[in-house]
Chains A and B, each alone.
Chain A
Amino acid sequence: MKKDRRDFLKLAGCAAVAGVGSSTAFHSLLRGEAEAAGLRRAGTKKEKTGVRLGMVIDIQKFLDDQDLARRCIRVCHQIHNVPEFGNPKDEIKWLWTDRFEHVFVKDTHYRQAQHLQGMPVLTLCNHCDNPPCVRACPTKATFKKADGIVGMDYHRCIGCRFCMAACPYGARSFNWRDPRGMDEHGRSFIRELNPDYPARTMGVVEKCNFCSKRLAQGKLPACVEEAAGAEAMFFGDLNDPNSEVSRVLREKFTIQRRPSLGTYPSVFYII
């Protein structure tokens, strides 16, 4: 008899806890909280807080002006003292073009439009919202800033290259040799040194930083400025509904690189 009563009390207790729990869950569902929680990473919540910088690249505009990409890359690499080693093994790149099917990996795509195959697409660091490189770095040499930029501290990097293994976009480069050196013909790897930006040492990782130094001066990223005339690139605060980048994203259909990986890139492409 005694045992039965205890069992009954236990059962009642469990039921009460479950009941309380379920009713709260039910209410939060009614209020739409569950949906908001589920989509939080997709940016619905983020829209309300702070600046989140992003970029839109219009691929068609780069097709119309075949030289535009080269000009953007040149200005980017020039102001950031990106060295040219002249071989793919040591190569360092912040902004570069790659074939469409490499940038948007879809081996299983049956009969994709022919003109897309081999089409050069401008690519750079995606400044992910959930960056695997930042998670991997053991020294906080790569970090995510409040405005969404994934930054690099060249002076703290130990050169373990874990971030390179972690980045699914191949956006990170390593200084396999001294970028301030010279090739066998006595030519500097940094063609024209820009004293306003540090040159790197050997043994550190580097990548695009969305021109954070220019942004601090109130300027646009160098590539966006170069492409401004062609209206090929847009840059701004994704969380500000009135920004140009938000307007473009509202009006145009855009895609992102490898969205299934859950990294939430801040670079969007108009096809």
Chain B
Amino acid sequence: MIEKAFQGSKGYWTWIACLLAVIAIGGMFYVQQWNYGLGITGMSRDVSWGLYISQFTFLVGVAAGGLMLVLPYYLHNYKEFGRITILGEFMAIAAVVMCLMFIIADLGQPMRALNVLLHPTPQSMLFWDMVVLNGYLALNLICGWAILHSEYKGVKYSNWVKPFIYLSIPWAISIHTVTAFLYAGLPGRDYWLTAILAPRFLASAFAAGPALLLIIALIIERNTLFRVGQVAKDKLVTIISYAAIINFFFLACEFFSAYYSQYPSKMYTKDYLFFGLEKDGSIFNNLVPYMQASVVIGLIGIAMIFYARSKKSDLLLGISCGLIFLSLWIDKGLGMVLGGFVPNPMGQVTQYYPTIPELGITAAVWATGFLILTILYKVAISVKLEKEL
């Protein structure tokens, strides 16, 4: 089956070559980081997590978002998703691999990563995050590959796969819940210390994951004979738009409880992220343009996705999904993690700017994810088209 990944058009190989180039450049930056230490990044004593962990957090959501395709098909027998369920599972694999790579990139002593297994610490949320992420990766590898392989052989998948499929459904929720718990259980970090964090994470995940998937599906439709189907696309639009709306509703809830209560430590980070925080005569606002754009872009994306559906326009659909994805990426892949550190628990402000090596390594991890995604999708679509034509 894997041989399908080695047969492709010129465009396919150009894309692979581009990804490999980004990975190679990032690899060189990682060597630099390995030798110098994490001091090569923009992180500091005050902002001790940066781009790596924020990307990890966002991508856990993308991985969990695959659930929105698996659940209707397997649990509710929603046949229209039959063609894209495998895409959701494979997207989850690529996203979880990226998550694990970002964690490794963020470790000060990556050679000691196995200490998490050698000294299991059940009271640490990071331990459970390791358990659920690796478990989810295994579940999706098992389910995705077994189902595609039986399709390849032209038979229905075996019954032994079913328990794994059903297990993967609550497991998808667990990965993002536990990731939210990493943040939501820390005293003194008021931006994170909110019971609504896990629901917020899930809402944004269930919008961002399917949005990315729909964009990719549209690209595949343009370049291959594979068709997602209008009904499936419409259903995805419903899922994406409602999840995105709920995400913004939750954000509004956070704003209400902070500003109506006038509770200072709840307001500071939101001031810093969305309006600019005045402290000792200077205004700190390096994330304000991004966070404001995130809200505006997200709302435009939601309005547009409904319009795109009514017009049955794939181009508009792609753009609106792109906007929603970008909005959620800024909110979670940037503001969510940095907001926990600025201002710090002592009320001091240290702003964070990622460095070139940090951006290079981040790009390389994303490129690796897209490489995995490309190869898996190439195999999946080749198998599906072969059976249909």
Which A residues are within 8 Å of any B CB, using their own CB? Answer: 88-92, 98, 101-103, 105, 107-108, 132, 135-141, 156-162, 164-170, 173-178, 201-205, 258, 261-263
Q: Is the CB of A203 within 8 A of B46?
A: no
A202 to B111 Cα, complex, angstroms: 12
Q: Is the CB of B37 within 8 A of A139?
A: no
Q: How far is the CB of A233 from chain B (nearest CB, A)?
A: 21
Contacts A90-B39, A102-B346, A170-B345 known; A161 to B121 CB distance under 8 Å? no
**Contact, CB under 8 Å: A107 / B347:** yes
| Chain B residues with CB below 8 A from A169, complex form | 188, 345-346
Residues of B within 8 A of A89 (CB): 39, 44-45
- Docked complex Cα distance between A201 and B113 (Å): 16
Instruction: Identify A88's interface contact among B43, B44, B116, B189, CB under 8 A.
Output: B44
**Of A102, A103, A160, A165, which is within 8 A of B186 by CB?**
A165
Chain B 315-357 against A: per-residue CB contact (8 Å), 1 yes, 0 no? 0000000000000000000000000110011111010000000
Q: Please determine whether B109 and A158 come into contact, CB atoms closer than 8 angstroms.
A: yes
Residues of chain A lying within 8 A (CB to CB) of residue B350? 88
Are the CB atoms of B182 and A162 closer together than 8 Å? yes
Report Cα–Cα, A202/B189, bound state, in Å. Answer: 26
Check: B170 CB closer than 8 A to any chain A CB: no
What separation, in Å, do the CA atoms of A205 and B49 have in the docked complex? Answer: 13
Nearest Cβ on chain A to B340's Cβ, whole angstroms: 7
- B130 CB-CB contact with A under 8 Å: yes
Interface contact A139-B115, CB-CB below 8 Å: yes
Q: Which of A136, A166, A202 contacts B37 (CB 8 A)?
A: A202
Given the known inter-chain contacts A88-B45, A102-B346, A138-B126, please indicate yes or no for A165 contacting B189, CB distance below 8 A. yes
Instruction: Name the B residues within 8 Å of A91 (CB-CB).
Output: 45
B310 vs chain A, min Cβ distance (A): 45
Residues of A near B154 (CB, < 8 A) are none
Q: Knowing A137-B121, A160-B126, A161-B48, say if A262 contacts B187 (CB, 8 Å).
A: yes
CA distance A235 to B22 in the complex (A): 56
Q: Is B36 among interface residues, defined by CB-CB distance under 8 A?
A: yes
- Does the CB pair B112–A177 fall under 8 Å? no
The 13 listed contacts between A and B (C-beta, < 8 Å) are A89-B39, A90-B45, A107-B265, A156-B119, A158-B108, A160-B108, A169-B346, A170-B344, A176-B38, A176-B39, A178-B37, A202-B39, A262-B187
Which size bracket describes the interface of B in this complex?
35 or more
Are B126 and A170 closer than 8 Å at their CB atoms? no
Closest to A260 in B: B187
For the residues of A in contact with B, the DSSP-based class is loop
Query: Are A166 and B186 neighbours in the complex by a CB distance under 8 Å?
Result: yes
Cβ–Cβ < 8 Å partners of A108 in chain B: 264
CB distance from A227 to the nearest CB of B (A): 23
Known: A165-B341, A168-B345; 12 extra A-B contacts, CB below 8 A, are A88-B44, A105-B347, A108-B264, A137-B124, A140-B119, A158-B116, A159-B109, A165-B186, A168-B186, A168-B189, A174-B108, A205-B108
Task: Give chain B residues whose Cβ lies under 8 Å from the Cβ of A258.
Answer: 188, 345
Q: Cβ of A162 and Cβ of B126 under 8 Å apart?
A: yes
Residue interface bits B180-212, CB-to-A below 8 A is 1, else 0: 001101111100000000000000000000000
In the assembled complex, B125 has its CB within 8 A of some CB on chain A: yes
In the complex, chain B residues whose CB is within 8 Å of the CB of A88: 44-45, 350
Q: Does A107 lie within 8 Å of B264, measured CB to CB? A: yes
Contact B126 A105 (CB under 8 A): no
- In contact, B187 and A203 (Cβ under 8 angstroms): no
Residues of A within 8 A of B39 (CB): 89-90, 176-177, 202
B123 within 8 A of A: yes
